[in-house]
Amino acid sequence: MSDDSTRDGLAPALESPALLDALTSIAAWRERAEEEANQALQELRAEEARLEASIGDLKRRLALVEERRAQTETRLNHLDDEELRRSHQALLAALTQDQALLVARSGALASLRAAAKQRAEVMLKDDELQGHLREYASFAEVEATLKSLPPGYRKAILAHHDNVRRTLEPVLRELRGDTVALTAPHAPVALIASVEPSEGPPQALVILTPVSAELQTSWNEQPQDLCASVAYRVVAAAAEIAARLGAADAPIQARPYGQFLAVQIWLRDRPVKGDVKEIATAALQRAKEQARDLAAAQVELFTLWLPAAALSPPEDDDDDSSVDEDTEDEALRMIASENIPDDRLPDFLIADPDTEA
């Protein structure tokens, strides 16, 4: 049978082999795949560059964070020392301020006492008042014989004496200083107390006062003012404290603490009875209540307890080694020099009297 194209006189159409078509399709696929891969590769390289830049930034940020962390840890490790340093500075500032207040109010009281003395002198110029004074002073001799007198006479004499006393009361009030009282605002003044060591059997008790250390070195040259009154009452309270602790024989010493006066009780090797803080606070409270001059000056003493370390904060040192018992024992034997400059923190002031000449 003949072909139609042959019958029509035309040449037969040639078809491409299937392999050629497949290879052509593969080539087109390769071209597309290569183009897509190159585009993806460019994007990945760009992302890689961005990531490397981010990693570098993160590393720099990490280094900064590590540095800040180290600095923060250092500050944290030194908070105790910094707290002690600041507490010591606040302690010195408070003592200085309280001392200035005592000095100022001492001057004001002195002026009031001078005025009271002048008023009394004016009153005493009255001859009649002078007679009443002599009669009042001689009443002690009359009083001894009152029991032997009839009740009526005794009652009349007592009534007369009471009238004389009332007549003299204005001048007696001036002479006693009852009229001497400041109208200044009420002001608290702190006594800084500390027990060493803070735990275990107490070895020493120290009381810092807002009083000049010169009172201890040249007391006979110092004015007998409020500052002196505070010092004397603290010394008296120290004797009471030692007795109530069962250590009446404990040495009591007045020592300079920088520019201030400290009173210390050495309790080492003595069987202390009772709570030191409780007994000391009560004794100092009684001393305050007995101080009429402080009441007249509108000054009230109160006791503030601080750790012994606050009295002598550790020096700045890169060595973080802890203080051993030998170091603490040595600290107890050190005393602040009278010549310590104001910009230097004094050593803890307790001195063992057994080691002194």
Provide the residue type at 165 as one letter.
Answer: R
Cβ neighbours, 10 Å, residue 236: 16
Q: Is the pLDDT of residue 248 over 70?
A: yes
Q: Is the pLDDT of residue 22 over 70?
A: yes
* Residue 270 pLDDT class (50, 70, 90 cuts): confident
Q: DSSP readout, 132-201?
A: HHHHHHTHHHHHTTGGGS-HHHHHHHHHHHHHHHHHHHHHHHHHHTTT----SPPEEEEEEEEEESSSSS
pLDDT in tens, 115-141: 778 777 777 777 777 776 777 677 766
Q: Is the pLDDT of residue 12 over 70?
A: no
pTM: 0.65
- What are residue 187's DSSP bridge partners? 299
Show the DSSP H helices in the chain as ranges: 4-8, 18-77, 79-124, 127-137, 139-143, 151-176, 214-217, 226-244, 276-289, 292-296, 308-311, 325-332
pLDDT of residue 347: 39
Q: Is 54 helix (H, G, I), strand (E, B) or coil?
A: helix
pLDDT in tens, 149-178: 677 767 777 776 777 777 777 777 767 766
